[in-house]
Amino acid sequence: MRIQIFFLILFYTLPSFGREENVDKVKVVDGKDYVMYYFKSSIKNLPPDWKKVWVLKNFKPGKADISPKVKSNRTNIVFDCVHKTYYTLSSINYTEYDALSKPALQTASGFNP
């Protein structure tokens, strides 16, 4: 009985996860080399007039025989709405798969203007 209820709940909630993810992402730029999104749910208001948001940048393959080393990048950015500037809090690069078929992660953090 418990297993049936579990699968019933799983069956009804799984399709909503996919729709929720697509609704949450907002496309900002669709360039020649990359596509950039921000996540609506990640926007946080910080006092006095600052906003923090996660940005996703997916790189497109250029030539057919050469693919980019970094496949996508997630960046946590703080915007200063008064002075119209931004600062990078952290950055995560998702790169090609290694020999163990796992993506290598390159991380950086700090308050970089």
Residue 1 inside a domain? The answer is no
Nearby residues of 97 by Cβ (< 8 Å), 6 or more positions away: 103, 104
Q: Which residue has the tokens 């990640």?
A: 42
Return the pLDDT at 18: 45
47-105 per-position pLDDT tens digit = 878 888 988 888 887 665 565 677 888 888 888 888 888 888 888 888 777 677 776 66
Residue 20 inside a domain? The answer is no
Residue 16 inside a domain? The answer is no
Residue 75 inside a domain? The answer is yes
Domain span holding position 47: 27-112
**How many structural domains comprise the chain?**
1
pTM of the model: 0.62
4-62 per-position pLDDT tens digit = 454 445 444 544 444 445 678 889 889 888 899 988 888 888 887 888 898 888 888 76
Residue 102 inside a domain? The answer is yes
Residue 32 to residue 87: CA distance in whole angstroms? 25
Q: Which long-range contacts (CB under 8 A, 24 or more apart) does 106-111 make?
A: 106/70, 111/87
Closest CA to 57 of 41, 70, 74, 78: 74
Return the pLDDT at 17: 46
